Amino acid sequence: MLMSFPALRALQPDWAMPERPSGLGLSPSLDPLTHRFAVWAGREGGTSVDIGCGGGIAAAAALVRGARVVAIDPDTSNIEPLLAQLPVRQRAHLRVLGGRLPTLQFESASLTAIHAARVLHLLEGNEIRQSLRQFRGWLRPDGRLFISVLTPHGSHWAGFHREYARRCENDEVWPGAADSRRPHLLDQRVLQRELTRAGFRVDELLDFPLAWDATQMCCGIVAAPQTISSDSAASRGPARRYHQIRR
């Protein structure tokens, strides 16, 4: 899956070339966050959305657990092999759409779960904020957002580590903003800040490497729409689960 970066549509950025880092390719296996999405979507019922579905591995894991899934990607050809293999009942519970953030539209409070794995690196800061606000509006009050991002903590970005630290020290809002050399990299602090700003409560934090590249760390978060009752709970200091997975 290769999507154009908004600020560089007239150029082919270096990180989007065929030899791009493996973190920008299709996932061959479930990561810890995606597994949580599949279990939640299958258990809670309703409709769930997999944004940036690629080959459909997350959608398939949710379908086999009984979920109804809308799988979205700019290039839906990647999911066609999965469609040919799905049992009739599971195929009936899957809808495939072409599209990308932040131009998607769903009805308010209509979704049980949203899965957005490693897609925010394709967006500018204002588009990230717009997308997170949309997620908040689409989810049911008891719904969950399962989101992961590529962090600067990877060997491919070693030359950027010092610059990233400098930007953080200077309190830049988007220290990992994209340019022709790299996509938009986000760390746990930035992602958690933006989720809170968009009206989410962070329930679980995960740090894990890519299944096919142990040098590239991802940040995953399970978040819930913030409500008046959860605001009260937050004032009492809710426990947040944190997991660091190493391979």
Structural domain spans, the chain:
28-244
pLDDT of residue 9: 36
pLDDT of residue 22: 60
N-terminal to C-terminal alpha carbon distance within the chain: 25
Q: Residue 220 and residue 171: Cα distance in Å, rounded?
A: 22
Q: Residue 41 and residue 85: Cα distance in Å, rounded?
A: 21
Give the amino acid at 134.
Q
Q: What is the pLDDT of residues 132-179, one digit of tens each?
A: 999 999 999 999 999 999 999 988 899 999 999 999 999 999 999 998
- Segment 19-29 mean pLDDT: 67
pLDDT of residue 51: 97
Q: What is the pLDDT of residues 36-57, one digit of tens each?
A: 999 999 999 999 999 999 999 9
Q: Are 43 and 61 in contact (CB under 8 A)?
A: no
- Segment 20-43 mean pLDDT: 84
- On average, the pLDDT of the chain sits at 86
pLDDT of residue 13: 59
pLDDT of residue 229: 54
pLDDT band at 75, cuts 50/70/90?
very high
pLDDT of residue 100: 94
What percent of the chain is predicted at pLDDT more than 90? 71
Question: What CATH number belongs to 28-244?
Answer: 3.40.50.150
Number of neighbours of residue 27 by Cβ within 10 angstroms: 21
Q: What is the pLDDT of residues 182-205, one digit of tens each?
A: 899 999 999 999 999 999 999 999
